[in-house]
Amino acid sequence: MSVTFCGLELVHPIVNGSGTFDAIAARQAFGPGFDDVFPFSAYVSKTITAAPRAGNPPPRLFEVPAGLINSIGLPNKGLDGWLASDLPQLATLPVPLITNVMANSAQEILPLVDALDDRPEVAAIELNVSCPNVRTGLDIGSDAGELGRFVSAVRPRTTKPLIVKLTPNAADVPGIARAAEAAGADAVSLLNTLRAFAPAPGGAGAAWLGGETGGMSGPALRAVALAQVRAVAACVAIPIVGMGGVASGRDARAFLDAGATLVAVGTESFRDALAGARIRDELAELSANTGLVFS
């Protein structure tokens, strides 16, 4: 089941989706022994921004049929806080660390990338480009030209593998993936949550979520994710981290078959902290039965 991804040797293809697993809190809840059963072959941090963010006011969650809408608002300690207090703890995880970062301009992202490039504990950098452009209100990642410029600015600043996490809220996701590849991305990951709205029970159009709109994840969007991964795989040569509603080894297999090299598990971990390990085992069994191999 081992797999090479952007030069990283990973023992299996299952990682976590950014922002869906707090390895530090997991040690608190399950004890330090959690590291011994760590379900992922690499750990993706939640999104880190330059300045600290408190996140959105509650409520932050709304359950939908076979899915979840969240409006967490990317709470994090900011780059300095993360480097000082989280990184040392994450560096002791038994797997490589991929750090996810976001900013709403190339200018603002560069210091983040520079700082991470300096840290040997960081194995790879993931760019979250589902960040609204202040001028247009649309995600930076929803326009191929804009995304290309963004990635081109980042690329020269680090020799670490650079993964671009695409936004699904776009007309032409494969075209955008191509732009990321052309600008020097080593991999793309997708999909991020779909923009969604949860009505407050009282009605009259009020939003349930403190952050007004949110993003939908979970099995409800798996088929949409598979379509996008498949379309992107047909257009780019760089590896793909596929995700969206993965809940079983069969689902993971479908993403690999659609062209992904790694598969990320997000919401399913909320139902079971060891879902990633179960999915890994189911995948191994499926692959053994069908004789399929990992690329």
Partner 1 sequence: MPVAGTPRTTAPPGRRLLTVGPRAEYGAYIVLSAADLDGPLPQPGQFYMLAAGERWGGGEDERPYLPRAFSVLRVGEHGLEFMLERVGPGTTRLAELAPGDGLWVTGPLGQGFTAPEDERRAVLCGGGVGTAPLALLQDGLRVAERPAPVLLGFRDHAHALGAALIPGSRVATDDGSVGHHGLVTELLADELDDNDHAVVYACGPPAMLEAVRALCAAREVPCQLALEAGMACGFGACFGCVVPAADGSYLRVCVDGPVIGGERLDTCLVAGHAA
Ligand X SMILES: Cc1cc2nc3c(=O)[nH]c(=O)nc-3n(C[C@H](O)[C@H](O)[C@H](O)COP(=O)(O)OP(=O)(O)OC[C@H]3O[C@@H](n4cnc5c(N)ncnc54)[C@H](O)[C@@H]3O)c2cc1C
Stretch that binds ligand FMN, among 67-75, 117-125, 141-149, 170-178 (CB under 6 A): 67-75
User: Cβ of residue 166: shortest distance to a second copy, in angstroms?
Assistant: 12
Answer yes or no whether residue 18 interacts with ligand FMN by CB under 6 A: yes
Amino acid letter, 211: G
Q: Which residue of 24, 31, 63, 285 would you call a contact of ligand X, by CB under 6 A?
A: 63
Answer yes or no whether residue 242 interacts with a second copy by CB under 8 A: no
Taking the CB of residue 2, how many other CB atoms lie within 10 A of it?
A: 10
Please check whether residue 275 is in contact with residue 269, taking contact to mean a CB–CB distance below 8 angstroms.
yes
- Nearest Cα to Cα of residue 214 among 118, 49, 74, 99: 74
Answer yes or no whether residue 134 interacts with a second copy by CB under 8 A: no
Answer yes or no whether residue 217 interacts with ligand FMN by CB under 6 A: yes
Catalytically active residues are 131
Q: Which residue of 62, 82, 150, 255 would you call a contact of ligand X, by CB under 6 A?
A: 62
Which residues share a beta bridge with 240? 188
For helices 249-257 and 275-290, the axis angle rounded to 10 degrees is 60
User: Cβ of residue 74: shortest distance to ligand X, in angstroms?
Assistant: 20
Please check whether residue 199 is in contact with residue 206, taking contact to mean a CB–CB distance below 8 angstroms.
yes
Stretch that binds partner 1, among 3-11, 61-69, 82-90, 131-139 (CB under 8 A): 61-69
Give me 102's structure tokens: 């976001």
Please check whether residue 125 is in contact with residue 162, taking contact to mean a CB–CB distance below 8 angstroms.
yes
Amino acid letter, 265: V
Answer yes or no whether residue 191 interacts with a second copy by CB under 8 A: no
User: Cβ of residue 208: shortest distance to partner 1, in angstroms?
Assistant: 6
Residue number, 178 or 222, with CB nearest to ligand FMN = 222
Q: What are phi and psi of 281, to 5 degrees?
A: -70, -40
Half-sphere exposure of 227 (CA within 13 A, CB side): 8
Residue number, 155 or 195, with CB nearest to a second copy = 195
User: Cβ of residue 38: shortest distance to ligand X, in angstroms?
Assistant: 26
Q: In whole angstroms, what is the distance from residue 225 CA to residue 176 CA?
A: 15
Stretch that binds ligand FMN, among 16-24, 234-242, 251-259, 277-285 (CB under 6 A): 16-24
Q: In whole angstroms, what is the distance from residue 256 CA to residue 171 CA?
A: 23
Q: Which of ligand X, partner 1, a second copy, none sits in contact with 169, Cβ below 5 to 8 A by type?
A: a second copy
Please check whether residue 220 is in contact with residue 168, taking contact to mean a CB–CB distance below 8 angstroms.
no
Taking the CB of residue 50, how many other CB atoms lie within 10 A of it?
A: 18
Answer yes or no whether residue 68 interacts with partner 1 by CB under 8 A: yes
Residue number, 110 or 207, with CB nearest to a second copy = 207
Residues that bind ligand FMN (CB under 6 A): 17-20, 46-47, 68, 70, 72, 74, 100, 128, 165, 192-193, 217-218, 243-246, 265-268
Site residues (CB under 6 A) for ligand X? 61-63
